[in-house]
Amino acid sequence: MRIGFIGLGNMGGPMALNILRAGHEVTVHDLRREAALAHLEGGAKWADSPREAAAYSEIIMTSLPAPRDVEAVALGDSGIMAGAGSGSTYVDLSTNSPTVIRRIHAIFKDKGIEVLDAPVSGGVAGARRASLGVFVGGDEAAFRKVQPVLNAIGDKVSYIGPSGSGAIAKLVHNQIAICTSAVIAEAFTMGVKAGVAPGALFKAVSDGAFGQGNFLNMLPRVIFKGAFDRAFFALKLARKDLALATEVAREFEVPMALASTVEQDLISGLVSGLGDKDASVAFTLQESRAGVKVRSE
């Protein structure tokens, strides 16, 4: 297929090379022509603008730093919409705002161009190995059309839902990863300052329920079903354990703002009579605040 690829940075560069190696005809553009040297040596064509790259292509792909960059490249005077033909497909691989991509989707739709949001996860190493997770939002038929190209950059390509769904899925993933990192920082600084070697802590966490992935797997097994009555680990015990951890943190003067916030939620759960239910029932406190239930068949 004829692919236009715009944005040859740390992620985009390797992805474009993998699409080229998969046998597609690739036209590339970047603010820095030197970023395209490996692609041009491999047989790619150069475009002087996103508009020119789009004019040559059936599928146009972008990998850009921020929503404002996506908007400029998609909608600018020399942008994708100015060059793309009816029947083509625009795939944004960036971590983007769902509101921005939905607006672009609506504008492009009027010109007969499909838009898919398809952010990726797996880092630079995953981009080089073509082992990325790819989360796709938009029309499912359009997704099926471009799926062979996406398979060239990732081995975990998933259709998530309508326009914006891929962007939302990526933000959910990154929020969990970033905030979990902060919680791990709190816990490890507490543990080390209280006298345990980092390597020993890592072994303990790796061997425990968290390290075995039990908490993520709990979502479909317990949360999605609302099955909180069977207490695998009661909320009252979770509150006791977290209270012990924050007590150690106070003893050794380790700030633990996230743990303290979670502790307050667990106390609220106890006051609400949830102490004998599974600790995951604390999830319902956030559901109440958000005005939504996270349930699935």
State the distance between the two ends of the chain, measured CA to CA, in whole angstroms.
38
The residue whose two tokens read 């921005």 is: 100
Q: In the chain, which residues fall in CATH 3.40.50.720?
A: 2-168
For the chain, how big is the Rg over CA atoms in Å?
A: 23
Written as six digits, the tokens of 140 are 């499912």
Looking at residue 297, its pLDDT comes to 77
The per-residue pLDDT string of the chain (297 residues; one tens digit each, 9 = 90 and over) reads 999 999 999 999 999 999 999 999 999 999 999 999 999 999 999 999 999 999 999 999 999 999 999 999 999 999 999 999 999 999 999 999 999 999 999 999 999 999 999 999 999 999 999 999 999 999 999 999 999 999 999 999 999 999 999 999 999 999 999 999 999 999 999 999 999 999 999 999 999 999 998 888 889 999 999 999 999 999 999 999 999 999 999 999 999 999 999 999 999 999 999 999 999 999 999 999 999 999 997
Contact between 198 and 185 (Cβ < 8 Å) = no
Question: Residue 84: which of 158, 12, 27 has the closest Cα?
Answer: 27
Contact 7, 137 (CB under 8 A): no
- On whether the CB atoms of residues 15 and 26 are closer than 8 A, the answer is no
The residues, ordered by sequence, that sit 6+ positions from 136 with a Cβ below 8 Å of its Cβ are 116, 117, 118, 143, 150, 157, 158, 159, 160, 165, 166
**Phi and psi dihedrals of 13, rounded to 5?**
-55, -55
CATH 1.10.1040.10 residue ranges of the chain are: 208-290
Residue 209: partners with Cβ closer than 8 Å, 6 or more residues away? 215
Look at residues 90, 70, 102 and name the one whose alpha carbon lies nearest to residue 145.
Answer: 90
What dihedral angle (degrees, nearest 10) is formed by the CA atoms of 92, 96, 102, 107?
-60
pLDDT, tens only, 215-272: 888 899 999 999 999 999 999 999 999 999 999 999 999 999 999 999 999 999 999 9
CB count, 10 Å around CB of 184?
A: 14
At the topology level, CATH places domain 208-290 in N-(1-d-carboxylethyl)-l-norvaline Dehydrogenase; domain 2 (1.10.1040)
Is 201 buried (19+), middle (13-18) or exposed (0-12) by CB count in 10 A? Answer: middle
pLDDT at residue 204, rounded to an integer: 97
pLDDT at 240: 96
**Residue whose token pair is 């929503």:** 67
Question: For the CA atoms of 20, 22, 23, 29, what is the dihedral angle to 10 degrees?
Answer: -20
Q: What is the pLDDT of residue 219?
A: 93
Active site positions, annotated:
170
122: left (phi over 0), alpha (psi -120 to 50) or beta: left
The answer to whether 54 touches 60, Cβ cutoff 8 Å, is yes
Structure tokens at 92: 């944004």
**Residue 31: Cβ-neighbour burial (10 angstroms; 0-12, 13-18, 19+):** exposed
Pick the CATH number of 2-168 from 3.55.50.30, 3.40.50.1360, 3.40.50.1110, 3.40.50.720: 3.40.50.720
Task: Round to whole Å and give the CA distance between 229 and 272.
Answer: 14
DSSP state of 133: E
